[in-house]
Amino acid sequence: MTSAAPLPSSATARRRMTLKDSRLSIKRAHDLKDELAGAARHRGEDKMTQNPATDPLVIPAEFLSVLQKQQAAYKRNMNPGLEERRADLRSLHRMLVENHEEIVAAIDQDYGCRCRFETKFAETYMAQEAALDTIKHLKKWLKPHRRRLDPTQYPWQRPGPFRNRLA
């Protein structure tokens, strides 16, 4: 007769145990991925012919091209102004309103018979209201705010070679 291992008494020991379990889970996931990749190579498949649904680490080329376009757009204009942000939010709201039924139908298809009322309320109406609320508060949120410096961050209290220098 074997007894189950007792649970650790301290919170630190429980955290270590949970961390150890998560590391083991990650290792098992990597082992499974390697096993699936080896089986795919044995069948003569390469990375691009694998199904992204079965191998989550494969990123389709169309997603990568969209990501590159988004990164390029961000680099062109990292900090848009108030009016540009409002225009973007208005176009997002307009898109949500105009494509409301298509969004509900797509979510219904993805989940397989999801309640239309629940989808309308939880997904589309909430996103529309969030866009309008953001437009309303955006000017206040974009104003610079004065932040206090924590006393431990004062330059003359730093240890080491910067101790005697004032910022």
Task: Give the closest residue to 102 by CA, choosing from 118, 117, 124.
Answer: 124
pLDDT of residue 1: 47
CA distance to 70, 93, 164, per residue, from 77 (Å): 11, 21, 40
The residue type found at 7 is L
pLDDT of residue 136: 96
What pLDDT, in 10s, does the model give residues 23-32? 556 666 666 6
pLDDT of residue 131: 96
Number of Cα atoms under 13 Å in the Cβ half of residue 154: 5
Positions in the chain short of pLDDT 50:
1-2, 167
pLDDT of residue 20: 52
Domain ranges of the chain: 14-48+57-73, 81-142
CA distance to 48, 55, 65, 67, per residue, from 59 (Å): 9, 9, 10, 11
pLDDT of residue 146: 83
* DSSP-assigned states of every residue in 20-34: HHHHHHHHHHHHHHH
Q: Are 32 and 51 in contact (CB under 8 A)?
A: no
What pLDDT, in 10s, does the model give residues 84-119? 999 999 999 999 999 999 999 999 998 888 888 998
pLDDT of residue 59: 77
